[in-house]
């Protein structure tokens, strides 16, 4: 996972640590000790001389340029790359660094923190707290999933259903992808394997009506969660995007989740932006993180949309969905 980004940042970490070491080893000229006061000079050096000269912006130019290029080559969005570079620069330029500080650890610490800030830019959503809150109101939590064709949206819904079932929640699926008969059948196959009921209608039926019926059924039968599948669509498809707006308007979901393909990098980020602008999304699930060698989508999507990453798809099994934690990304990138 994230192999290309991991490799590039490892190289940058070594370059940055070398630059820090080089700079801190350039001591300021030390005054000659008066013969009559050698002990006083040693005390003064102990108190004041524990710092080397300040790091200037020009000291970092080359390594920060390399960092910028590496991030862009890993499909990281431009504003995200700029944010990471700005943080590293602000933490080093003009700073006096203590003697004995491990430059390699300092470089890794700065890079980790800059990426952590980017990953957490969208905040956090506690899915289980939301469900419990709706439970207290004797209402189902209604969650709608959006995404373009072929990203693995329906399989992701099945994974979310499995995760919720493992927590003891009663889950109902809504086959609101009425655009394709295969879409309804695919959801039914997953539901059959998991033992979950599905509310559906024929192909070509009103998708919003299907979603509405599912929510009504869940409320009457005291289900905890309704997961609504929708037709995969390109973000440029105006008619199908209007259908999404209608579904949201009719059922007023508690959570709108964009499902993106991590392998598509900046395309996933652009898609998420469009869905957020047209419909409004609350969170993101990124699929295929196990196969994502570049890593730019994971770094960029939350920062650019301002919405949190809810979970990561890490394989083909129903169990292969993990709740998002920035350390998952950071440990993958900085593992030796």
Express each pLDDT in 147-167 by its tens digit. 988 888 999 999 999 999 999
Strand partners, 260: 286
pTM of the model: 0.84
For the chain, residues classed under CATH 3.40.50.300 are: 127-334
For the chain, residues classed under CATH 1.20.120.140 are: 3-119
| Three state DSSP letters for 90-158 | HHHCCCCCECCCCHHHHHHHHHHHHHHHHHCCCCCCCHHHHHHHHHHCCCCEEEEEECCCCCCHHHHHH
* pLDDT tops 50 at residue 27: no
Under the banding of pLDDT at 50, 70 and 90, the label for residue 252 is very high
Strand partners, 177: none
| Cβ neighbours of residue 217 closer than 8 Å, sequence gap 6 or more | 172, 199, 223
How far, rounded to the nearest angstrom, does the alpha carbon of residue 171 sit from its chain's CA centroid?
Answer: 26
Phi, psi torsion values for 214, nearest 5 degrees: -65, -45
Using CA atoms, how far apart are residues 151 and 161, in angstroms rounded to an integer? 17
Lowest-confidence region among 27-31, 193-197, 293-297, 318-322: 27-31
Residue 214: name the closest of 191, 180, 182 by CA: 191
Q: Is the CB of residue 228 less than 8 Å from the CB of residue 144?
A: yes
pLDDT at 313: 92
93-114 burial, b at 16+ Cβ within 10 Å, e below that, comes to: eeeebeeeeebeebbbebbbeb
Question: Long-range pairs for 180-186 at CB < 8 Å and ≥24 separation?
Answer: 180/231, 183/154, 183/229, 183/231, 183/232, 186/154
Express each pLDDT in 229-243 by its tens digit. 998 766 566 777 888
Using CA atoms, how far apart are residues 265 and 249, in angstroms rounded to an integer? 30
The CATH code of domain 3-119 reads 1.20.120.140
Using CA atoms, how far apart are residues 60 and 16, in angstroms rounded to an integer? 8
Using CA atoms, how far apart are residues 4 and 312, in angstroms rounded to an integer? 18
CATH 3.40.50.300 fits 127-334, yes or no: yes
Alpha-carbon dihedral sign for residues 324, 327, 328, 333: positive
* pLDDT tops 90 at residue 50: no
Q: Which residue has the higher pLDDT, 38 or 235?
A: 235
């Amino acid at each position: 996972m994230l192999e290309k980004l991991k490799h590039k940042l490892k190289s940058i970490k070594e370059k940055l640590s070398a630059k820090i070491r080089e700079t801190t080893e350039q001591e300021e000229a030390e005054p000659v000790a008066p013969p009559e006061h050698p002990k006083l000079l040693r005390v003064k050096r102990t108190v004041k001389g524990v710092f080397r000269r300040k790091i200037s912006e020009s000291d970092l130019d080359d390594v920060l340029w390399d960092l910028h290029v590496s991030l862009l080559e890993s499909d990281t969005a431009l504003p995200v790359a700029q944010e990471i570079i700005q943080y590293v620069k602000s933490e080093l330029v003009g700073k006096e660094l203590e003697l004995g500080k491990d430059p390699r650890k300092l470089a890794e610490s700065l890079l980790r923190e800059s990426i952590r800030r980017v990953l957490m830019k969208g905040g956090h959503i506690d899915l289980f707290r939301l469900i419990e809150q709706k439970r207290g109101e004797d209402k189902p939590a209604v969650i709608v999933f959006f995404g373009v064709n072929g990203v693995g949206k329906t399989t992701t819904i099945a994974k979310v259903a499995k995760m919720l079932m493992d927590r003891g929640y009663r889950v109902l699926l809504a086959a609101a992808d009425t655009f394709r008969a295969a879409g309804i059948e695919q959801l039914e196959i997953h539901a059959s394997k998991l033992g979950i009921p599905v509310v559906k209608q024929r192909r070509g039926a009103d998708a919003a009506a299907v979603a509405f019926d599912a929510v009504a059924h869940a409320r009457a039968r005291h289900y905890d969660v309704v997961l609504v599948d929708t037709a995969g669509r390109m973000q440029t498809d105006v008619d199908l995007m209007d259908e999404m707006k209608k579904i949201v308007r009719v059922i007023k979901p508690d959570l709108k989740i964009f499902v993106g393909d991590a392998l598509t990098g900046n395309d996933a980020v652009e898609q998420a932006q469009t869905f957020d602008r047209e419909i409004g999304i609350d969170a993101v699930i990124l699929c295929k993180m196990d196969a994502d060698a570049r890593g730019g989508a994971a770094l960029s999507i939350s920062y650019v949309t301002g919405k949190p990453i809810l979970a990561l798809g890490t394989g083909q099994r129903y169990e292969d969905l993990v709740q998002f934690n920035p350390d998952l990304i950071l440990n993958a990138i900085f593992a030796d």
